[in-house]
Amino acid sequence: MRLIILDKYDDVSDFAARYLIKQLRAFGPGPNKFFTLGLPTGGTPLGMYRKLIEYYKAGKISFQYVRTFNMDEYVALPRDHPESYHSFMFNNFFRHIDIDPKNVHILDGNAEDLEKECQIYEEKIKEAGGIDLFFGGVGPDGHVAFNEPGSSLTSRTRLKTLAVETIEANARFFGNDISKVPTQALTVGVATIMDAREVVILINGSHKAFALHKAIEEGISHMWTLSAFQMHPKTMFIVDEDATMELKVKTVKYFKGLMTTHQKLIADV
- Percentage of residues of the chain with pLDDT beyond 90: 97
> In angstroms, rounded to a whole number, what is the distance separating the alpha carbons of residues 213 and 243?
9
**Which residues of the chain fall short of a pLDDT of 70?**
none
**Predicted pLDDT at 210:** 98
Domain CATH number, residue 80: 3.40.50.1360
Residue 8 zone, left/alpha/beta (φ > 0; ψ -120 to 50; rest): beta
> In angstroms, rounded to a whole number, what is the distance separating the alpha carbons of residues 98 and 84?
22
**What domain count does the chain have?**
1
**Predicted pLDDT at 76:** 96
* Catalytic (active-site) positions: 72, 141, 143, 148
**Predicted pLDDT at 230:** 96
For residue 153, count other CB atoms closer than 10 A to its CB: 17
**Predicted pLDDT at 241:** 98
148 touches 141 (CB < 8 A): yes
Residues 207, 213, 218, 220, Cα dihedral to 10°: 60
**Predicted pLDDT at 152:** 97
**Predicted pLDDT at 188:** 98
- Domain of residue 158 covers 2-266
**Predicted pLDDT at 165:** 85
Per DSSP (E only), the strands in 162-217 are 184-187, 199-203
> In angstroms, rounded to a whole number, what is the distance separating the alpha carbons of residues 145 and 70?
9
